[in-house]
Amino acid sequence: MNPLKAYAAEHTALAIQSLDLFLQSGKEEAMHELRVSLKKGRALLDFLEKQKKHEKKISKLKKQVREVFKQAGLIRLNHLRIKWMKSNRYRLLLQNASLETDLNGYTSDFLSEARRNKNVLTALHKTVAKESEHTSLVQVLSYAKKLKAKVIRLASGLQQSHWHHLRKNIKRLMYAYHWLMEKDKIKLLTLRQYNYLDQLQSSIGLWHDAEDMKTWISEAQFFFHPNEKVKQQFNRCWVQLSNEISEQEKAVADLLKRKNSLLKISKLQIQGRK
């Protein structure tokens, strides 16, 4: 069994299925699944490109997939903002924002590119399935170990402005973990290390989402609104987001303090190298 090939075939096929489901139903969950699958597809392309496999072809496909990902991201971001506003009962802010209008516009643009996007995802599916079939799992392990070294390096003395970049690399390391045979996974990460990294990237994600929401609500300039109730709701929202950011900053900082003891090479990993 080639786990890289199986992973590539499964998740790029899921991207196509999620795209089809969104085109048919417009369901928010379908867009979420599409974005997740595209992240995994982009990680696969990045790996293949670094193996010097058909570099021009892979590079061109990476740009095309990135464009689909970007378009889908605008829809997903507005879904998340609307969902957050509704769940926290900021009805007046939602009514006076352009979120739902923007969402309709981004969705319309995305639907107009349906055929092109489907062709890009089909090309992604065929390319990664074919190229991964002829890729040595020794290359996969070597690539994954370099990713781990990069994650450890990025996590040392990291400024908040680089947390999102760290999260991106953690997720790629976690994807690569699943491209390995079971006997090779321990050479990369213990289960404890994997769970730690998952917790760290999740906390960074929550922090980033709160930061993004606070930036957006500031740019919406509700503090200038003539309706006093809108201003009051904005003030309450601002305090809530500030508290969420502080909580997540502390969670991420606490996790980063544990990195030295958790990410060092374990005895099991040393034994796995022999």
Query: For position 265, what pLDDT does the model report?
Result: 52
For the segment 109-130, the average pLDDT, to the nearest whole number, is 96
* pLDDT over threshold 70, residue 273: no
* pLDDT over threshold 50, residue 271: no
Query: For position 268, what pLDDT does the model report?
Result: 43
φ, ψ of residue 53 to 5 degrees: the values are: -95, 110
Q: From CA 180, how far away is CA 164, in angstroms rounded?
A: 25
CA angle 63/66/72 to nearest 5° reads 150
Return the minimum-mean-pLDDT range out of 14-23, 46-55, 102-111, 247-256.
Answer: 46-55
* pLDDT over threshold 60, residue 220: yes
Contact yes or no for 144/176 (Cβ under 8 A): yes
Contact yes or no for 31/75 (Cβ under 8 A): yes
Domain residue ranges of the chain, discontinuous segments joined by +:
1-135, 136-274
What are the tokens at 246? 């502080």
* pLDDT over threshold 70, residue 235: yes
Per residue in 172-214, pLDDT (tens digit) is 999 999 999 999 999 999 999 999 999 999 999 999 999 999 9
Query: For position 266, what pLDDT does the model report?
Result: 46
Query: For position 248, what pLDDT does the model report?
Result: 96
**Which of 12, 9, 109, 117 is closest to 64 using CA atoms?**
117
Q: What's the predicted TM-score (pTM) here?
A: 0.90
For the segment 150-170, the average pLDDT, to the nearest whole number, is 89
Please name the residue ranges forming H helices in the chain: 3-25, 28-50, 55-87, 91-95, 99-112, 114-133, 137-154, 163-177, 182-188, 191-219, 228-257, 259-263, 267-273
CA angle 79/121/14 to nearest 5° reads 65
Per residue in 41-80, pLDDT (tens digit) is 999 999 999 887 677 889 999 999 999 999 999 999 999 9
Please name the residue ranges forming H helices in 96-136: 99-112, 114-133
Query: For position 56, what pLDDT does the model report?
Result: 85
* pLDDT over threshold 70, residue 254: yes
Per residue in 76-109, pLDDT (tens digit) is 999 999 999 999 999 999 999 999 999 999 999 9
Per residue in 121-151, pLDDT (tens digit) is 999 999 998 888 888 889 999 999 999 999 9
